[in-house]
Chain A
Amino acid sequence: MMPRVDRRLLLNVDWWLLAAAGCIIAFSMLSLWSLAPGRGGSALAWRQLSWVGLGLIAMLVVVSVDYRQLVRAAPAWYVLGVALLLSVFLLGRTVSGARRWIHLGPVTVQPSELFKLVFVLTLAWALTAWRTPSPSRGAVLGTLALMGVPFLLVVRQPDLGTALVLVPVAAAILVGIGVRARVLGIVGLVGVSALPLAWFVLKPYQRDRLLVYLDPVRDPLGTAYNVIQAKIAIGSGQFFGKGPSGATQSRLAFLPERHTDFIFAVFAEMWGFIGCLVLIAAYGLLVLRGFEIAASAREPRGRILALGVTTVFATQILVNLGMVTGLLPVVGIPLPLMSYGGSSMVVSLMGLGLLLSIRMRQFH
């Protein structure tokens, strides 16, 4: 599949989207670098930069391929994705009680990250392949079925965060294709009433996290320690921030997981409310562009794909920021394009690639 060099394609590159993403990646580098300038921090930043490079190549590959071909191959992706999820159980490495990673040579890959995109591709395929004239009960049930298998797998890994991302993505797509509010409401009610059952599926540490969220003083040195320290970091940044050298919470390691899931707290401590506004504006721009691409797409597969990918971004951003700022329980979701981590960065850039691709091909 050689890229067809089409002048029209290049005319429709969404520069706003790219600018927003570039801006966020720059913030990520800055934060990683500031964590320990000249020492461990720079090593992290360099490694992350190489992931960005790999991600950009992956993005170019995705852009060069017609997304419709990718959707057409969705069943294969789906099978491959589920297989990868299963492989974690066989080959996976256990890190702090969770099996989420598999080794591929020198790097570890987190299949659940990749599955977010596979899931969206599969829905785009399924909801268009059956050519249902109007959104029907079949669509809803099909979607739930497609979501169910990987959902259980991911929850059992356990990676509650990733599993939870699938739900709003599916919901957004169902809303998009026009499933009636009443049907969605019933599905939602069933889902909510099934939550107590989910309690038994959860691992003890996941239950702890939920309980701590409800009552933070339960465990001031365990999970709640993360949340408290993150709040202190963010809050102490105040309006203008402390700058990289004054960010004692981050620099002195009071903040756990500060280069991965809690990187926003580092940024907030250093750059204050002003900096946060800029970063959130960048995310807002990214998400708005994504929804705009979805809204203006004319072709059903592109529409669903763009809506799904954008919702993946939006959900991860909102859940991560909500968790770091203490609005939501800690569920272990990375902040797209900010958090240190190869899988997340590459998959995020591939997602951006899909959005760009849809935009470029909207007039086909």
Chain B
Amino acid sequence: MGLTPARIDPSDGWRRRVLVVTTLVMAGFAVLVGQLWYLQTLEGGRLQEMSDRNRIRIRPVTAPRGILFDRNGLPLVDNRPAFTLSLIPRELDDAETVLARVSVLLKIPLSELQDVLDKAPRDSIRPQRVRRGLSLEDVTKLEERRLELPGVVVEVEPQRVYPTSTFAAHLLGYVREVSDEQMKHGRYRRGDMIGQSGLERLLDEHLRGRDGGERIEVDAFGRQMKVMRREEPDPGAQVITTVDRRIQEAAERAMAGHAGAVVVLDPRDGDVLAMTSSPAFSLDSFTGNLDREEWLRLVQDPKTPLMNRALASQYAPGSVFKVVVAAAGLQEGSLTPMDRAYCNGEFHMGGWTFKDWKTGGHGHVDLRSAVIHSCNIFFYQAGLKVGPEAITRYARAFGLGAPTGVDLGGEKPGLIPVVSPARGRSGRGWQAGDTVNISIGQGRLLVTPLQVARMMAAVANGGILWKPRLVQRVERADDTIAYASSSKMAGHVELSPAVWAFLRHALAGVVNDGGTGAAARLPGIRVAGKTGTAQSVAKSDSAKGQDHAWFASFAPADDPQAVVVVFVERGGKGGQVAAPIARQIYQALFLDKVAMVSLGESDR
């Protein structure tokens, strides 16, 4: 028997009729073979692509952001894995339904999801980030409904984590998703986290590293089956700063509850050991999803927590400026340590009365005691003797009124006025009253705490004006150095050794010989400093402290190793408010020395 039905028997219709049925069935088979030919050869390529699209997913592997270390190798920030909700546009066949489900499940506004999708190409297979820092609970909810949510994925990405949420906030700066505006200028991918302020911004290029990626095969439930190809990310470079984490922490602890800034410098090389500004903002709030309201709240907060007061806020230096007046007078010969004056608490000039801060005055004072007790009356007269040109010249020499060039953005220059005899018909020329005002650090003088710190460092080290250094070096993951900086001198203040010695001696007296800075006195370590109480420009009538409190200091007085400048906004008197804060910081700085001496002694 062959494969074909035998010949038809004409006498019997049966065989013929079976053949009819057979033919119909065979025609069906032929159609099937045709359809298979169509699907497997003509359409095969396209369907192969669809099959790949089913199973292949591209998963970006975010490069871990570089870590910032303090000078002793302690981390200032770290990374931890965090969950990110993303959408893959090409796999969202029924976007409307899926987005609605996600919206309900995680309580994310539908518009937020839709926005993300609208910004990405429709057929993109790259996951588009919607929300970072998903809670484990939310991740579980999504995993449970994985099948109903094609195109919705949860990625694991390294995310910044901070020792405490506000630690060194202004120094480190915050990291936030790249904005639409920034997208236009840089080579960023949407959703990249980039440094937006502080060192994170300055060193973003180094810290960011290069993202890698994976081609993975997934099954129908989105489970990863295998990694087909992986391109390793280049981790961001590590940054070794000059900051001392312990000192930074001490400074922040000491400033708690105050508004203002602290700068701690090493006068020997210009390294910034600590820099804090308060109130600080929470760095954590930027890592996840900062919503609009919270952002606006931060920006519009009258306490301006986002501003780094150490270098972006300008204030009158107050009596701290007397150091400049004394230095100028002594060096120019218009003042001598032997000059004396009688202070009765008032000074009259041209119908104006200038008052001392101390009612009744200080009595008989010489230059040193005028510094120690911050006698205004003495300095009014001294200022007139030295003259405004010399005062402003020396102020500039000490680096006041000009940016320090520190490795942080947003620095303000401050202001040292130009002494001009006459300024046209309408303009008011320089008057003696102006000289009187700047002699005690008031008037049209503006400085930043960082400038004051640099000035004090120059006093401490005998005239070297450093460019404050924040970054020692940047090390790539392969141990090569991407950037390194050594200490740089920005200038030199030329004073005779005798003048330097006098200034240091007088400043040591401020703290140790019953001066205005006595509150900074520490057993075991000789602190030298100058207090300042600056009238704030805006005269608010609030009862409590409308004056800014300054304390600019260094220690040990005879071998300066650290400069501490404390500024408290509307804090009150420098000696009462700022000096004790500095004292706490010195305790941390010279822990061993202070501890040794205070053994058996009661700490006050």
Contacts and interface: CB of A to CB of B under 8 A. Distances in A.
A and B: real partners? yes
Given A176-B21, A235-B40, A253-B221, A283 B29 contact: yes
A294 B14 CA distance: 9
A253 B5 contact: no
B484 interface: no
B51 A233 contact: yes
B43 interface: yes
Contacts of A231: 39, 47
A249 B3 contact: no
A55 B46 CA distance: 41
A291 B5 contact: yes
Contact of A268 (B4, B20, B36, B45): B36
Contacts of A295: 5-6, 14-15, 18-19, 22
A238 B40 contact: yes
> How many A residues are at the interface, by size bracket?
35 or more
A292 interface: yes
A287 B23 CA distance: 11
Contacts of B28: 314, 318, 322
A311 B1 CA distance: 20
A252 B218 contact: yes
Which interface residue of A236, A311, A314 has the most chain B CB atoms within 10 A? A236
Contact of A307 (B18, B46, B217): B18
Interface in A232-270: 232-239, 248-249, 252-254, 268
Given A249-B51, A252-B217, A280 B32 contact: yes
Contact of B13 (A178, A252, A289): A178
A325 B25 contact: no
Interface in A208-230: 220-221, 229
B225 interface: yes
Given A175-B20, A253-B220, A325 B35 contact: yes
A360 to B, nearest CB: 13
Nearest to A220: B93
A253 B147 CA distance: 12
A172 to B, nearest CB: 5
Specify the main secondary structure of chain A where it touches its partner.
Answer: helix
Given A252-B218, A288-B22, A234 B32 contact: no
Contacts, number: 152
Nearest to B223: A252
B36 A325 contact: yes
A276 interface: yes
Given A294-B18, A314-B25, A288 B5 contact: yes
Nearest to B2: A292
Interface in B201-229: 217-221, 225
Contacts of B6: 292, 295-296
A42 to B, nearest CB: 19
Contacts of A285: 3
A99 interface: no
A283 B41 CA distance: 22
A284 interface: yes
Nearest to A230: B39
A344 to B, nearest CB: 19
Contacts of B1: 16, 292
B37 interface: yes
Contacts of A89: none
Interface string A303-320: 100010001001000100
Nearest to B3: A288
Given A235-B51, A280-B33, 18 more contacts: A229-B54, A235-B39, A235-B47, A248-B54, A249-B55, A252-B217, A268-B36, A277-B36, A288-B3, A294-B18, A295-B6, A295-B18, A314-B25, A318-B25, A318-B28, A318-B29, A321-B32, A326-B35
17 contacts: A231-B39, A235-B44, A238-B41, A238-B44, A238-B45, A239-B44, A248-B51, A272-B40, A280-B29, A287-B25, A287-B26, A288-B26, A292-B6, A295-B6, A307-B21, A318-B32, A327-B32
